[in-house]
Structure 1
């Protein structure tokens, strides 16, 4: 009797599994159709994972990866054949063309807007419309550590025969300890003799141990090509509280949004916040404290300078998010002193320093307008650059290039347009930057 009852049960299980597989196939086809049509603007999509584990880099972009980015704002995302979030480029530089690499983190990568709306693409089109033969190549990749920029430059940038590199980092990236954390990408780790060496702790992760074997390659191919597989993988990484719809610890700790101070106290509050934010930067760049953090920062600058010299490429380094206190705030003089010390550290290594936030603030009409360049919709005021932000950054970038390079002669050969690598750049005060 039990044997007879087992057959219907097996048939039921088979029908259930077949129905589940067919349902997943329908969802798979539906998600693919949405991604390939304008429906991605309004219907559910699964955010792409445009990269893969890499034993040398930590996590590297995958050439040809594509999808619809959904974090903060929806935008098409595509990685070109060179592994860059950029239009297709030839490795060989066109004759007479200035080729400039834009190095940086997720703010420079700009996944939240379309590629053609990225500030580098905007600046390139404006310069070309004026007759300049220039290419602004987006070398950026998301990640908080400046060392990722150096690795990216050596792997993806130098083969493109660059004339100039413009790197861009948040001031906080030198304070966060990311230069000392090798859990996700290479970093500087202390050794037994008290020196710093390149650490690859991330190689101990399961994904990196199998990055180059058949299992790892199949897994990467699956999550990059299948929206359903990617959705299941991303959901598996969510905390149980999120999967069950419960408030997370982070959201519970956030509390209510901060209330803006009264207009009469706005200047005082801005001064106090700037003073507090500037102090750790002053400790690092002027006093070289904490010692280990400064040792990692100095080592990074030394490695970047040596790398650029060995390839004959000039480097400008834009540091953003250095607080801009009100003019009558005592922190204004502290900020000026900080920039003197930062300038000394960069220029002594042949790297030009750019006070990026000051330049962008001038373009935007003042520091008070900077928050409006970030975030989208109800979240405007914080986050990555929005479309207004990319337009402002494009104008600031053109200001820098007009000041640093002889762009007054569109037909001038690129070999004459770039000073020798290692030659220190001189920068007028931000208020004197030329307008495009």
Structure 2
């Protein structure tokens, strides 16, 4: 009888030891945030891939040396709580974009949204409410869906989309996207848009949905799954040829950078055209609901003269102001307000003599595509302050009595 009990006893002892080990590791990672460990704030979303888990506080350990604690409101966005009913006399501004709008790298009060809201309220003498609908990795596909599903019910007076060419163009189509766990639009020959959300039928999405409750409760499980996602994206970047050594004179500027040269890649030309089509759809949808529409082009690394020169050394036809200029023309044709950030960032960086972005990729040793084709990190506090000032200057005329009339 004793020998029959021993295997069971051994299994129980092993399970107990593993449980103690897991609990110890969980406590260590939860308290130290080593390797960027933190509880997951994501939740699966069958329409847009994923969103922020609502009604909780989280910790973002990257970029800002002190780390940032942030809250997600009951609607699933990084902001204070909102009322669906718009208060009388309030001018509502709904802001869409990727991680630059989500802005987990700075405290809420130092984001461009909070700063612009405060300055505009003081200058206009009325209540201005900025609403943050940003989420990491958004493209125009998700933004159009969020606009119609989440934003319009709040009756915004102005919808702003922050455009980031580095991600928005490549991630818009399956051949160039770093993740396929997302919706994709296709423009049909008759000009209509066809939405593909087949990702939510895949085994990977179902597994992600199953794992999500464990990720939200365990820092260790969240860390393991996050590292796996990074591994998958790096592998996809390698397959698309976007991860490797710096470009040199024997190579060419690729991906979104090629659009700013005389030899653009055909797939990115197609993606960029679709991106504009989706922006037009967002503008028309906003205007149909009595909201103005503004397009903001986020600065690219080439706002720095030394980076622009680096790109020109590879392809002399590279134009560092291409997206600001091209999108300005596009916005004018589509009756959109437009704000380009390339030149303001260039001037401010030169005046301050210091960067307007965090230095993150350098710190963790990621090279290749991320080194020459993307920023070293998101906007720091100086960057957010500059964006706020630019928005105030652009929006304030809309608040004048004659403009409101």
Normalised TM-score (structure 2): 0.74
Query: What stretches of structure 1 of length at least 5 have no aligned partner?
Result: 35-39, 243-247, 259-268, 420-436
> Is the CA contact 1:361–1:370 (under 8 Å) kept in the aligned structure 2?
no
> Could you tell me how far 1:193 is from its partner in structure 2?
8.7
> Is the CA contact 1:171–1:321 (under 8 Å) kept in the aligned structure 2?
no
- Counterparts of 1:315 and 1:151 in 2: how far apart (Å)? 16
> Could you tell me how far 1:349 is from its partner in structure 2?
1.8
Query: What stretches of structure 2 of length at least 5 have no aligned partner?
Result: 365-374
Change (3 A) 1:20 1:61: same
The answer on 1:19 being equivalent to 2:17 is yes
The answer on 1:202 being equivalent to 2:199 is yes
1:352-401 per-residue CA deviation (whole Å, 9 max, x = no partner) reads 221122233344445x9574433359749711112222222222222222
Q: Output the aligned Cα RMSD.
A: 4.4
- Counterparts of 2:162 and 2:141 in 1: how far apart (Å)? 12
The answer on 1:164 being equivalent to 2:158 is yes
Normalised TM-score (structure 1): 0.69
1:283-321 per-residue CA deviation (whole Å, 9 max, x = no partner) reads 699x99966335413421331122112222111101123
Alignment equivalent of 1:297, drawn from 275, 296, 309: 275
Alignment equivalent of 2:82, drawn from 81, 86, 89: 89
Change (3 A) 1:291 1:162: same
Alignment equivalent of 2:61, drawn from 59, 63, 70: 70
Change (3 A) 1:363 1:335: closer
> Is the CA contact 2:26–2:219 (under 8 Å) kept in the aligned structure 1?
yes
Look at both structures and tell me which one has the larger radius of gyration over its CA atoms. 1
- The range that moved more, 356-365 or 276-285, is 276-285
Residue 344 of structure 2 is matched in structure 1 by: 359
Residue 260 of structure 2 is matched in structure 1 by: 281
Change (3 A) 1:338 1:398: closer
Alignment equivalent of 2:180, drawn from 168, 183, 201: 183
> Is the CA contact 2:138–2:168 (under 8 Å) kept in the aligned structure 1?
no
State the SS of the aligned residue for 1:373. Answer: coil
Residue 345 of structure 1 is matched in structure 2 by: 330
> Is the CA contact 2:39–2:217 (under 8 Å) kept in the aligned structure 1?
no
State the SS of the aligned residue for 2:170. Answer: coil
Q: Higher relative contact order by CA 8 Å / sep ≥ 6: 1 or 2?
A: 2
Residue 434 of structure 1 is matched in structure 2 by: none
Change (3 A) 1:226 1:292: same
> Is the CA contact 1:115–1:121 (under 8 Å) kept in the aligned structure 2?
yes
Change (3 A) 1:417 1:88: farther
